[in-house]
Chain A
Amino acid sequence: MTLDWKSGGVLLGLVFFLAFLLVKPIGVSTQFVVADGVIWDMLNPSLVVTGADGTASSAVTYIDKNASKIANPLNYDFIFVLVMILGAAASTLARGGLSREERRVPALWAANHGNDATKRFLVAFASGFIVLFGARLADGCTSGNMMSGMGQTALSGYIFTLGAFAAAIPTAIALFPRDTSPNT
């Protein structure tokens, strides 16, 4: 079951604080670029080159900004995001796992747009494309800009949050008028 918002909020704040205290603020979306770079560099090893002084670099500007992380994917940020998968998997299993239907198509989507799993997969694919393009344009996503950003009182965090909710709220209201229960 979902945690009560008070305990959940305190736990969430503690994780962000501990990450800040021990290492650095939490962020996720940069690792999509690192993953791209790792795959791209496997296909074309000249993408990231390591100089005589051990410094990694690339002719592609945005890859160059993350060159050292791509040359060595076993770094804090990349492992952090990979392990999130395991943390969420363990938590889901501990609360009994998801039903077969829910794993195919989320309930609210099914109530509004049907239970065609292929359609849902393609919509999620297109959404992921827009979201990560946007997150890179904004230099951070919900974790890095909204939570870590506003938590540090960064001006960019407030601007990002304003843009994100200004678009997300009307979109969600328009797309999901129906639900599975009147109590949600």
Chain B
Amino acid sequence: MQIVLAIILGAAFGAVLDRIGATNPSILNRMLALRDLRLAKAIMLGIGVFSILTFAGQMLGLVDVGHMSVKAANAGVFLGGVLLGIGWAVSGYCPGTAVCAVGAGRRDAIGYVFGGLLGALAFTLVYDAVTAMGLLDGIAGGKVTLGPVPGSEYGGVLNIRGDVLGIIMGLIFVAVAFVLPERLRPAPVVGEPVRA
């Protein structure tokens, strides 16, 4: 049954990433260069919808709180985010969208996935050293959500009900998605197409 769900949900995720334009590095890079934020609006609306449905479902007892999976907050999360951000902007791919772009027929995405396999291997080889450096030591409680979610194993940063906060954060994401303009920076220089 789990495998059937993996096939249905994985295919749906791949198709949706493609349909919102996330498998196209040009669209990704125009977003990161703040010239076309429609993809950012879709992502924020997605996070908001996910958050509201999940936490409302938990409050109604329809969604299993035990499905929550919260990663530890530590220095490695920030440093790793910075490294990921650089490679993301240079290539226009994050790991999930690159895997999808391979399916879309993009040749450079194959290079990215091979590079990614090697990068993940490099981290595997230095994992003990990274741990010894203390980069993975939890900060602010480590595996925490903004507020403690009733029934979950995770602590909260604030002493406010986590599921209520989750719905509020979800509404904020939806609101920002609507308020955010489609462009924050001026139109680009039009280059002579370098293509032959």
Known: A108-B30, A142-B88. Is A13-B53 also a contact (CB below 8 A)? yes
Docked Cα-Cα span, A103 to B76, in Å, equals 34
Q: How large is the interface on B (under 10, 10 to 19, 20 to 34, 35 or more residues)?
A: 35 or more
Pairwise interchain contact B85-A168, C-beta atoms closer than 8 A: yes
Chain B's closest residue to A89 (CB) is B103
Pairwise interchain contact A92-B3, C-beta atoms closer than 8 A: no
Overall SS of chain B's interface: helix
Known: A171-B32, A179-B190. Is A150-B63 also a contact (CB below 8 A)? no
Question: Does B171 have its Cβ within 8 Å of any Cβ on chain A?
Answer: no
Q: CB-CB < 8 A to A20: which residues of B?
A: 50, 54, 63, 67
Q: CB-CB < 8 A to A36: which residues of B?
A: 117, 120-121, 124
Question: Does B60 have its Cβ within 8 Å of any Cβ on chain A?
Answer: no
Pairwise interchain contact B112-A124, C-beta atoms closer than 8 A: yes
Q: CB-CB < 8 A to B24: which residues of A?
A: 2, 106
Docked Cα-Cα span, A15 to B29, in Å, equals 24
Pairwise interchain contact B99-A85, C-beta atoms closer than 8 A: yes
Question: Does B175 have its Cβ within 8 Å of any Cβ on chain A?
Answer: no
Known: A22-B9, A86-B11, A127-B90. Is A143-B69 also a contact (CB below 8 A)? no
Q: CB-CB < 8 A to B86: which residues of A?
A: 130, 134, 167-168, 171
Give B179-196 as 1s and 0s: 1 = Cβ < 8 Å from A's Cβ atoms. 000000101111101111
Q: CB-CB < 8 A to B23: which residues of A?
A: 88, 92
Q: CB-CB < 8 A to A182: which residues of B?
A: 187-188, 190
Question: Does B102 have its Cβ within 8 Å of any Cβ on chain A?
Answer: yes
Docked Cα-Cα span, A168 to B159, in Å, equals 33
Chain B residues 89-111 with CB under 8 Å of chain A are: 89-111
Pairwise interchain contact B63-A21, C-beta atoms closer than 8 A: yes
Overall SS of chain A's interface: helix
Min distance, Cβ B123 to any Cβ of chain A, angstroms = 4
Pairwise interchain contact B82-A134, C-beta atoms closer than 8 A: yes
Chain A's closest residue to B177 (CB) is A9
Chain A residues 96-143 with CB under 8 Å of chain B are: 97-98, 101-115, 117, 120-143
Contact of A152 among B88, B98, B145 (CB under 8 A): B145
Docked Cα-Cα span, A25 to B35, in Å, equals 31
Q: CB-CB < 8 A to B36: which residues of A?
A: 184
Pairwise interchain contact B71-A90, C-beta atoms closer than 8 A: no
Listed by A's residue number, 21 A-B pairs whose Cβ atoms lie within 8 Å are A2-B19, A2-B27, A17-B50, A88-B104, A90-B15, A98-B104, A106-B106, A108-B92, A128-B114, A128-B118, A132-B95, A132-B117, A135-B84, A136-B119, A149-B71, A153-B147, A153-B169, A157-B71, A167-B83, A168-B89, A176-B33
